[in-house]
Amino acid sequence: MTVRRRKQMCLAVRLPGAGSATAYAGPRATYAGPRGKSPLALPAFEHLARTAERGRFDFLFLSGGPRPEPVTVLSALAAVTERVGLAATVDATRTEPYDLARRLATLDHLSGGRAAWHVATSRDQADRYGRATELVATAQELWDTWTPDGVSRPFAHRGAHFDIAGEFGVPRSPQGHPVVIHAGDSDECREFAASTADVLLGRHGSPEAGRAFYADVKRRLATYGRAPDDLKIMAGVTVVLGDTATGARERELSVRRSVSGAGGGHFLVGTPESVAAELDALVRDDAADGFVLLPYLAPGGLDEFVDRVVPLLQERGAFRTEYTGATLRSHLGLHAPAGKG
Amino acid sequence: MTSSHGRGLLHLAAAVDQQSAYDAAPYAELARLAESGGLDFVTLGDSFARPGPDALAVLSRVAPQTSRIGLVPTVTTTHTEPSHVQAAVATLDWVSRGRAGWQLDVSTGEGEARLFGRRHAAPADALWREAGEVADAAARSWDGWEDEVTRPPQGHPVRVVDATEGQARPTAARYADVALVRAANAAQATAVRDQLRGQAVEFGRNPDTLRVLVSLVVDLGDGEHAAEPGHGGGGPRQTPHGPLYRGGPVDLAELIASWHAAGTADGFHLTPVEPRRDLERLVNGTVALLQHRGLFRTFYPGSTLREHLGLPRPAHQYAVSGGTS
């Protein structure tokens, strides 16, 4: 190792939305019972959010809606957590920039600067990346109409997709711009992330494929005048732990049966020690800046990782032992947006 | 108790709107104060026409910090995607465990239309018809969600409509669970309530499933005695901001008790002029007195907003297997 400061990994967890196999395979049994106890009720999410925060995770990420509606769930979770980032999936092919910007700025205020949005696009939409790019840029224009001192200026935006004007109704939020997350690995997706996103969620295949993906995306940033650290690349992984390697393999078989169809990334299977070593190596070898865990047995699935793997990552100096800042941008080591003065 | 208006339990609600508040704490504080008085629900206004946070998100943020009180944000239907409205309202019902309502409203201004790239605003009566359609579509959608696991806890979160303006009244009579009426005197309130109940019957509803609350702005800053002649015990007066009651908490309790006893209203929705000061006086003065006289609940016997309002949980409109989604 060189003497340079140890690279810190980012960690996040994806909370299952309604309709995903992850949401139903476990909680149906865990939360059996009538109304008020469905997997959509707050306790299921609350447990995962508190566990993520106990593990000092950067953020949690609520996958595709429309049900439950992500910003509404995350606003409630902001009341039961203090530091962990809160990322909402937004369908960029249907959302109007004014309403979206207002709801995200509200979430950023309500959470003290912990809001993020995962910009999702539909495959069947013509020019989906064109609209998504303009949606993000327009939302940021709206946020920039307020100075940090609370002065608002009118805006007028005319582009290929949106032609809007008026005044934005929410003062500048703690982060200025909520964090932009994108997911995928196509060429268009990499380009969009390089130009616009703060975090790119990739799918982790082999370490070699991860390194190639990482290098390719980071190289694209320069085109947009951005530094390699301006975009964090996080790989989706499902971690299956066992006390022994054999025990872990046996659990993996039953997990794969129960989550078939859930999709969700590469399986990392082994003892806490071997999994921690593997995650650490992937970050050190520039295959990823961090990981998004896809817990296979919500809502209990994250506890084991936080209790058994996170301490090992911390011992290695690969992951924070305490939050040092209040906002998600600070957790991720991202610059504050410049804003237009 | 034999009034033709079927005088039932008294219902009380309060607005928690505050100028220039974007953090959660001031809203949570007022909602908890209202909850300590056993109020049915709190409202939070929302409009694209003026600065302010997204009301539904704010009350979702307040939900975990409260346990019984109903949470009713304004949701405008003119420029928002109906599927988003349905999902957000249902989600508020989930995170609050059955305490959600939504006050339907429309955006009539040209300025609001421009925020969404639209050139012209439609006339108010057309916008209110559309709001009714959004409410109806939401109910059908919730009924179509497979079963008890995904349906909102209350079946249909409570619908609130401000029925003061004539254009909104048919939508209120047809779809509202709670209608708000800004009225400065009992005769005016009674007339609107009678009209709403009559229209509800024409729409095939049992009029006893519609709660009509009189909306007043309240200024309790002047102590027990009205600052101006004709106020306090004399009743509210019309102002540009709506009917304003100015006087003491005890006189307000008298007014609430007498209007309710006369069948003028099923309850009151009160907007404090000075939120913290007036809501505190309302809860610890007015409400305490009404409770002392046995006119208002001292605890919540139920856990959902529908239960507070004495409204049944709607049955599925469709058979489970025939539902759409």
Q: What is the percent of chain B where pLDDT is above 90?
A: 81
Please list every residue in chain A whose beta carbon sits closer than 8 Å to the beta carbon of residue B150.
Answer: 18, 38, 40, 67
User: Per-residue pLDDT averaged across B250-261, rounded?
Assistant: 95
- Closest CA of chain B from A63, distance in Å: 14
Please list every residue in chain B whose beta carbon sits closer than 8 Å to the beta carbon of residue A171.
Answer: 22, 51
Which of A35, A46, A163 has the CB atom closest to B117's CB atom?
A163
Least trusted range by pLDDT, from A114-118, A169-173, B320-324: B320-324
**Both tokens of residue B69?**
């009180």
**CB spacing of B22 vs A42 below 8 angstroms:** no
Residue A19's pLDDT is what?
Answer: 43
**CB spacing of B22 vs A109 below 8 angstroms:** yes
- Closest CA of chain B from A198, distance in Å: 24
| Residue among A50, A41, A37, A36 at smallest CA distance from A18 | A41
User: Per-residue pLDDT averaged across A166-183, rounded?
Assistant: 97
- Alpha helices by DSSP H, listed for chain A, are 21-25, 27-30, 42-54, 70-80, 97-110, 128-143, 187-196, 207-220, 245-258, 272-284, 301-308, 310-315, 328-332
- Split at pLDDT 50, 70, 90, the class of A94 is confident
Please list every residue in chain B whose beta carbon sits closer than 8 Å to the beta carbon of residue A46.
Answer: 64
Residue B3's pLDDT is what?
Answer: 38
A326 touches chain B (CB under 8 A): no
Q: DSSP 3-state assignment of B104?
A: strand
> Closest chain A residue to B118 measured between Cα atoms?
A164
CA–CA dist B281, B275 (Å, integer):
10
* C-alpha dihedral sign at B188, B193, B198, B199: positive
Give helix A301-308 / helix A42-54 axis angle, nearest 10°. Answer: 10
The DSSP annotation for B250-287 comes to HHHHHHHHHHHHTTS-SEEEEEESSHHHHHHHIIIIII
State chain A's mean pLDDT as an integer.
Answer: 87
CA–CA dist A18, A37 (Å, integer):
14
- Closest CA of chain A from B30, distance in Å: 15
The DSSP annotation for B206-256 comes to -GGG-EEEEEEEEE-TTTTS-SSTT-GGG--EEETTEEEEES-HHHHHHHH
Which of B24, B94, B117 has the CB atom closest to A79's CB atom?
B24
Phi–psi pair at B41, nearest 5 degrees:
-160, 165
> Closest chain A residue to B78 measured between Cα atoms?
A99
Lookup result for tokens 């069948």: B263
CA–CA dist B287, B100 (Å, integer):
23
**CB spacing of B150 vs A102 below 8 angstroms:** no
State which H helix or E strand residue B180 sits in. strand B178-181
Q: What is the pLDDT of residues B73-122, one digit of tens each?
A: 999 999 999 999 999 999 999 999 999 999 999 999 999 999 999 878 78
Q: Does residue B323 carry a pLDDT above 50?
A: no
- Closest CA of chain A from B124, distance in Å: 21
| Residue among A112, A47, A48 at smallest CA distance from A78 | A112
Count Cβ atoms below 10 Å from residue A43 Cβ, excluding itself.
17
**CB spacing of B51 vs A169 below 8 angstroms:** yes
- Closest CA of chain B from A262, distance in Å: 19
Q: Does residue A32 carry a pLDDT above 70?
A: no
State the greatest distance between any 2 C-alpha atoms of chain A, in Å, as a whole number: 63
User: Per-residue pLDDT averaged across A61-82, rounded?
Assistant: 89
Q: Does residue A10 carry a pLDDT above 70?
A: yes
Interface of A with B in 208-267 (CB under 8 A): none
**CB spacing of A65 vs B153 below 8 angstroms:** no
What's the CA angle centered on B284, arms B30 and B281, to 5 degrees? 70
**CB spacing of A35 vs B94 below 8 angstroms:** no
How big is chain A by its Cα radius of gyration, in Å? Answer: 20
Residue A295's pLDDT is what?
Answer: 76
CA–CA dist B282, B289 (Å, integer):
10
Residue A31's pLDDT is what?
Answer: 31
Helices (H) and strands (E) in chain A, counts: 13, 11
Residue B124's pLDDT is what?
Answer: 95
A29 touches chain B (CB under 8 A): no
Specify whether the CB–CB gap between A39 and A21 falls below 8 A.
Answer: no
> Closest chain A residue to B60 measured between Cα atoms?
A76
Residue B320's pLDDT is what?
Answer: 44
CA–CA dist A318, A6 (Å, integer):
7
> Closest chain A residue to B145 measured between Cα atoms?
A67
Q: What is the pLDDT of residues A224-283, one digit of tens each?
A: 999 999 999 999 998 999 999 999 999 888 777 766 554 556 889 999 999 999 999 999
Q: Does residue A23 carry a pLDDT above 50?
A: no
Lookup result for tokens 């924070």: A320
Residue B184's pLDDT is what?
Answer: 92
Specify whether the CB–CB gap between A234 and A289 falls below 8 A.
Answer: yes
Mutate to test the interface with B, among A42, A75, A106 (most CBs of B within 10 A): A75
Which of A18, A73, A109 has the CB atom closest to B53's CB atom?
A109
Specify whether the CB–CB gap between B265 and B258 falls below 8 A.
Answer: no
Q: Does residue B72 carry a pLDDT above 90?
A: yes
A169 touches chain B (CB under 8 A): yes
How big is chain B by its Cα radius of gyration, in Å? Answer: 19
- Split at pLDDT 50, 70, 90, the class of A338 is confident
User: Per-residue pLDDT averaged across A89-108, rounded?
Assistant: 94
Please list every residue in chain B whose beta carbon sits closer than 8 Å to the beta carbon of residue A68.
Answer: 87, 90-91, 94-95
- Closest CA of chain A from B11, distance in Å: 25
Q: Does residue B254 carry a pLDDT above 80?
A: yes
Higher-scoring residue by pLDDT: B217, B1: B217
What's the CA angle centered on A182, arms A177 and A187, to 5 degrees? 130
Which of A34, A66, A165 has the CB atom closest to B114's CB atom?
A165
Please list every residue in chain A whose beta carbon sits closer than 8 Å to the beta carbon of residue B94.
Answer: 38, 40-42, 68
Lookup result for tokens 């902001």: A78
**Both tokens of residue B307?**
């239960």
